[in-house]
Amino acid sequence: MKILVCISHVPDTTSKINFTNGDSEFDTNGVQYVINPNDEFGLTRAIWFQEQQGATVTVVNVGGPETEPTLRKALAIGANEAIRVNANPTDGFFVAKQLAEVIKTGGYDLVIAGKESLDYNGGMVPGMIAGILGYNFLNSCTGVTIEGSAVTAVREIDGGKETVSTTLPLIIGGQKGLVEEKDLRIPNMRGIMTARTKALAVVEPVEASVNTKAVKFEKPAAKSAVKLISPDNLDELIDLLHNEAKVI
Partner 1 sequence: MSILIYAEYAEGKFKKVAFELASYAKKVAESLGTTVTAVTVNAGDVSELSKYGVDKVLKVNNDKLTGFTAKAYADVIKQAAQKENAKLVLLSSTTDSIYLSSLVAVALEAGFASNVVGLPVSTSPFQVKRNAFSNKAFNFTEISTDVKVLGLAKNSYGIFENTSSLTEENFNPTIGDNDFGVKVESVEKVSGKVSIADADIVVSAGRGMKGPENWGMIEELASVLGAATACSKPVSDLGWRPHGEHVGQTGKPVATNLYIAIGISGAIQHIAGINSSKVKVVINSDPEAPFFKVADYGIVGDAFEILPKLIEKFKAFKLQQS
Among 4, 8, 37, 47, binds ligand FAD (CB under 6 A): 37
Q: Which of 69, 162, 183, 202 binds partner 1 (CB under 8 A)?
A: 162
> Judging by DSSP bridges, how do beta strands 19-20 and 136-147 pair with one another?
unpaired
Q: Return d(Cα 204, Cα 218) in angstroms, integer.
A: 32
Distance, in Å, from the CA atom of 32 to the CA atom of 40, rounded to the nearest integer, reads 16
Query: Using CA atoms, how far apart are residues 117 and 77, in angstroms rounded to an integer?
Result: 20
Measured distance CA(144)–CA(146) in Å, rounded:
7
User: Is residue 242 a contact point for partner 1 (CB under 8 A)?
Assistant: yes
**Choice between 59 and 170, CB closer to partner 1:** 170
- Residue 241 binds to partner 1 (criterion: CB under 8 A): yes
Segment interacting with partner 1 (CB under 8 A) among 82-90, 103-111, 166-174, 200-208: 166-174
Whether residue 57 contacts residue 68, with contact meaning beta carbons closer than 8 Å, is answered with no
Q: Is 30 in the site for partner 1 (CB under 8 A)?
A: no
Which residue is at the shortest CB distance from ligand FAD?
Answer: 13
- One-letter amino acid identity for 222? A
**Does position 194 bind ligand FAD by CB under 6 A?**
no
* Sequence letter at residue 220: P
Nearer to partner 1, 184 or 200 (CB): 184
Candidate list 158, 186, 189, 207; residue touching partner 1; CB under 8 A: 158
- The tally of CA atoms less than 13 A away on the side-chain side of residue 162 is 9
Q: Which 202-221 residues touch partner 1, going by CB under 8 A?
A: 209-220
